[in-house]
């Protein structure tokens, strides 16, 4: 049995739809940066891409937050949504759809989907008893709770006891089909450690979960019983589907699922794995729809080794970080310094050191001094050398020829730090190369042809590095490309059509004689943080 009809000719990716109880934090920024990088890499390869982000606006948590602030829930949501959109602009996120669960046409999709599941006999009325964490919007099992019924994720909050009539979704019915999915599509849950977590959860036996709430009206009414409000997660997951509609489309499942479905990757944090890797595919199976292709659960960020939290007073404000260091710096740090999938730490000192070492020194200085040498020893143009003039065994060329393959595999596996390591290994090798070849001595010896070959080889290697880094640091890649004489904008969505991946990911394409730009620092050294 095939569970998802995978399309390799187009690519769709989602971030979680963020709760709007508060302004976006660094955790939401982390997932969104990663999703943007994957979307950009696919665009670079010339694929049609759809990147979806958005907000999850219903439920008790949002209702209570709005009440506490003396706002209507909708007014509150609108304000916070503006904050999300502005952060994504500042972070240079190229999303295609911003899906809000309060969008009018979302309700039509939710109703149609509910009806399908209802007709399968997969929804029934029952009694729900248990501890509910409003911050997670989830009933907790005893083993997930700390003493005093505190949630293990929101440790300063007590879960609330509930004993009420709810509608339930027959998750238990899908036990076998889910096991089959995990077996036949092993890449469905990644990385491996998360897959194992899910398998052991499912092996313990699945229990039906409630999909409605009473005494809470900030949400859609249950279509078959308006005294109940639909559970926020049931409605939120479906907003991935609503997001697929074109602006002029009728809001029907058929329309929504006609082109981009199934989603290629749902990118999420590890805390919401169960919803995406267990509940969501079961809901889709019940509705008779193909499931998504891949769910990737990344790790959690800590600050200076400590869990982040408002009460701990150590939250990182993404807006402040970007205004101080710029979007490329923030994007680079989180993807290079943290192995994607594992937990990772932010420390300002490490941040500054990493950026200075990699972007200012290794890459920036290399380009700068090479361009200055070209000005001095050649003229203002790319030396009259072609990639083919350099022997294949040349230290940089031989590595450059195989770099794109390694980096492509790394991006596809979402191993961003590995992609950066591979690229920077070549950048560091280039620094060593130029020191060892010493064009200044060759020049004095009158070996002009060799000087030109060495400088060409280094410039071409820097170009390739900038090209392959462009999904992560598009502005810096733009600066490198412009100084090398190209007029290319890595921030344009049609980049894959503007410059072909098959050309630019190859070592040896820098056009001989191309007029170079003025050498200018591409990344200014950062001062160490104040103690």
> Can you give the binding site for ligand MSP, defined by CB under 6 A?
16-19, 27-28, 30-31, 56, 236-237, 268-269, 271-272, 300-301, 308
Minimal distance in Å, beta carbon 205 to ligand MSP? 25
Minimal distance in Å, beta carbon 452 to ligand MSP? 48
State how far the Cα of 152 lies from the Cα of 50, in Å rounded to an integer: 35
Minimal distance in Å, beta carbon 127 to ligand MSP? 26
DSSP state of 161: E
Minimal distance in Å, beta carbon 269 to ligand MSP? 2
Picking from 240, 412, 252, 414, the residue whose alpha carbon sits closest to that of residue 341 is 414
Closer CB to ligand MSP, 342 or 444, in the complex: 342
Q: Which residue is nearest to ligand MSP (CB)?
A: 269
State how far the Cα of 517 lies from the Cα of 61, in Å rounded to an integer: 54
Closer CB to ligand MSP, 232 or 434, in the complex: 232
Minimal distance in Å, beta carbon 275 to ligand MSP? 7
Minimal distance in Å, beta carbon 322 to ligand MSP? 17
Closer CB to ligand MSP, 222 or 308, in the complex: 308
Minimal distance in Å, beta carbon 424 to ligand MSP? 24
State how far the Cα of 460 lies from the Cα of 401, in Å rounded to an integer: 11
State how far the Cα of 487 lies from the Cα of 469, in Å rounded to an integer: 17
Long-range contacts of 257-263 (CB under 8 A, 24+ apart): 257/289, 259/10, 260/10, 260/12, 260/50, 261/12, 261/289, 261/290, 262/4, 262/5, 262/6, 262/7, 262/290, 262/291, 262/292, 262/293, 263/12, 263/13, 263/14, 263/52, 263/292, 263/293
Closer CB to ligand MSP, 167 or 279, in the complex: 279
Closer CB to ligand MSP, 137 or 452, in the complex: 137
Closer CB to ligand MSP, 117 or 268, in the complex: 268
Closer CB to ligand MSP, 17 or 419, in the complex: 17
User: Residue 378 in contact with residue 455, Cβ under 8 Å?
Assistant: yes
- Angle ∠(228,232,238) on CA atoms, nearest 5: 110
Alpha helix segments (H runs only) across 103-226: 104-119, 175-184, 192-203
Could you write out the three-class secondary structure of 249-314?
A: CCCCHHHHCCCCCCCCEEEEEHHHHHHHHHHHHHHHHHCCCCCCCCEEEECCEEECCEECCCCCCC
Closer CB to ligand MSP, 117 or 237, in the complex: 237
Residue with tokens 């602009």: 89
Closer CB to ligand MSP, 27 or 383, in the complex: 27
Minimal distance in Å, beta carbon 437 to ligand MSP? 44
User: Residue 416 in contact with residue 340, Cβ under 8 Å?
Assistant: yes
Angstrom distances, CA of residue 115 to CA of 144, 235, 290: 32, 13, 17
Backbone angles phi, psi at 477, to 5 degrees: -60, -40
Minimal distance in Å, beta carbon 318 to ligand MSP? 12
Closer CB to ligand MSP, 267 or 484, in the complex: 267
Minimal distance in Å, beta carbon 377 to ligand MSP? 49
Token pair listed for 56: 């999850």
């Amino acid at each position: 049995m095939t569970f998802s009809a995978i399309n390799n000719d187009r690519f769709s990716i989602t971030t979680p739809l963020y709760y709007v109880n508060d302004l976006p934090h660094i955790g939401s920024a982390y997932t969104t940066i990663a999703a943007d990088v994957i979307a950009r890499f696919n665009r670079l390869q010339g694929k049609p891409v759809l990147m979806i982000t958005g907000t999850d606006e219903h439920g008790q948590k949002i209702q209570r937050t709005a009440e506490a602030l003396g706002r209507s829930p909708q007014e509150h949501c609108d304000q916070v949504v503006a904050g999300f959109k502005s952060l994504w602009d500042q972070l240079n996120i190229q999303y295609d759809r911003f899906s809000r669960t309060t969008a009018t046409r979302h309700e039509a999709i939710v109703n149609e989907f509910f009806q399908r599941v209802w007709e399968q006999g997969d929804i029934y009325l029952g009694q729900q008893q248990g501890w509910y964490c409003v911050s997670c919007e989830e009933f907790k099992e005893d083993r997930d709770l700390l003493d005093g019924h505190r949630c293990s994720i929101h440790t300063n909050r007590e879960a609330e006891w509930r004993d009420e009539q709810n509608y339930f979704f027959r998750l238990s019915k899908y036990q076998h089909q889910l096991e089959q999915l995990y077996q036949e599509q092993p890449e469905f849950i990644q990385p491996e450690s998360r897959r194992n977590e899910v398998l052991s959860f499912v092996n313990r036996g699945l229990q039906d979960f409630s999909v409605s709430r009473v005494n809470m009206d900030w949400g859609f009414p249950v279509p078959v019983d308006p005294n109940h409000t639909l559970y926020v997660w049931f409605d939120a997951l479906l907003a991935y589907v609503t997001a697929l509609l074109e602006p002029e489309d009728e809001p029907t499942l058929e329309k929504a699922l006609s082109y981009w479905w199934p989603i290629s990757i749902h990118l999420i944090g590890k805390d919401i794995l169960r919803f995406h890797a267990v509940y969501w595919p079961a809901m889709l199976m019940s509705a008779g729809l193909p499931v998504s292709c891949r769910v990737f659960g990344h790790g959690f960020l800590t600050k200076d080794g400590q869990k982040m939290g408002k009460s701990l007073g150590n939250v990182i404000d993404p807006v402040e970080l970007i205004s101080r260091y710029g979007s490329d710096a923030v994007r680079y740090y989180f993807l290079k310094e943290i192995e994607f999938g594992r937990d990772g730490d932010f420390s300002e000192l490490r941040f500054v050191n990493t950026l200075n070492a990699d972007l200012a020194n290794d890459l920036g200085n290399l380009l700068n001094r090479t361009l200055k040498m070209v000005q001095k020893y050649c003229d203002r143009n790319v030396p009259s050398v072609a990639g083919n003039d350099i022997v294949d065994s040349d230290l940089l060329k031989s590595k450059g020829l195989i770099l794109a393959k390694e980096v492509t595999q790394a991006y596809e596996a979402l191993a961003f730090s590995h992609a950066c390591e591979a690229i920077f290994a070549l950048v560091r090798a280039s620094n060593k190369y130029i020191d060892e070849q010493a064009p200044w001595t060759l020049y004095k010896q009158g070996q002009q042809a060799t000087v030109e070959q060495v400088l060409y080889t280094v410039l071409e290697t820097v170009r390739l590095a900038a090209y392959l880094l462009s999904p992560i640091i598009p502005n810096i890649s733009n600066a490198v490309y412009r100084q090398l004489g190209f007029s290319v904008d890595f921030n344009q969505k049609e980049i894959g059509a503007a410059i072909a991946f098959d050309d630019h990911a190859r070592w040896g394409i820098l056009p001989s004689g191309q007029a170079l730009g003025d050498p200018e620092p591409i990344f200014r050294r950062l001062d160490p943080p104040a103690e």
